Structure 1
Amino acid sequence: NHPAENLVNNDPAKKWKCSSWEKSVSVVLQLDRAVVINSIDIGNEHSAFIEVLVGRSSSPDEPFQVNIGLCQVLLVASSFMSPMEARNGTMGTRVRMFSSEQLRKPVVEKRWDRVKVICSQPFNKHVQYGLAFISLHSTESAHRAEGTEHITTKIGKFPLRQDDD
């Protein structure tokens, strides 16, 4: 079992993977506040391609809608495995770091509070794939006001918004 919640845990042994083969899978991460994302580190888990989209929300329950232009591509679909590596099941845990120069302008210069990661594996239908980790980086300080007792889960330096259950 490899649910998306594994991405917010600090346990490197826990990964997010699809349950059975699909052409592509995605996960949407809601950040605690809108920030400028300057760089991204991605730990692959057998995905051939990974793309990162960003958006803004007015409500955490609002759907992430690509088709009507409410989000932008921050990182174009990037290769993490060659077709041969994917077919052979080798080199599936590659880590890549993307600086602001590799992220799309002017998207990289704006503030975002939603991140959608799309993973695909068209070359091997017999492997579960997804992400080992994703770290989002910003030059903004991530401090909170003193005296608050709000516990946050983070992806890199960015806290995720907590559900009110």
Structure 2
Amino acid sequence: MKPSTRSVLKVGKWLIFPIYQPFLRGARAFTLSRQVLRDRRAFIEASAIDTALAPVMNPATIRALVSTRRNGRLCLLLFIGTLGVWIWSCVHQATRLYSLASVQFGVILLVLLAEFIRLSFSNWLLRTGGTGRFQAFIARGGNLWPR
């Protein structure tokens, strides 16, 4: 192919890209859905094994697990966002570390972190059946992430 023909084809492809782009996304989604459907049998068998080993819980406990997990993750996300805003405020706006705004940020960060730990502990208690102490909870770092 000549270099001039190759450049004309590149320009043509670039010009019609907005037309065929939605079809590319649809084709990728179709391929992915076929792959998921193909692998669903192995997924169903694996989840059946997991549920056979898990204890049966009543719906109220399941709702409490879901809400503590959701709210714990929300508190952690808010903590990270507030920490980012406070760092941005200190670096870019030259807010002093001992100013009133920094003290307010510190209090907000402390409350969000305490709420995250409380919700994670509640989630852990629900998963373990209400037995255990805070020392056993905090001894393993993986318990902090609500599941």
Normalised by the length of structure 2, the TM-score is: 0.24
Normalised by the length of structure 1, the TM-score is: 0.22
Higher helix share: 2
Higher strand share: 1
Higher RCO (C-alpha under 8 Å, 6+ residues apart): 1
Largest Rg, 1 or 2: 2
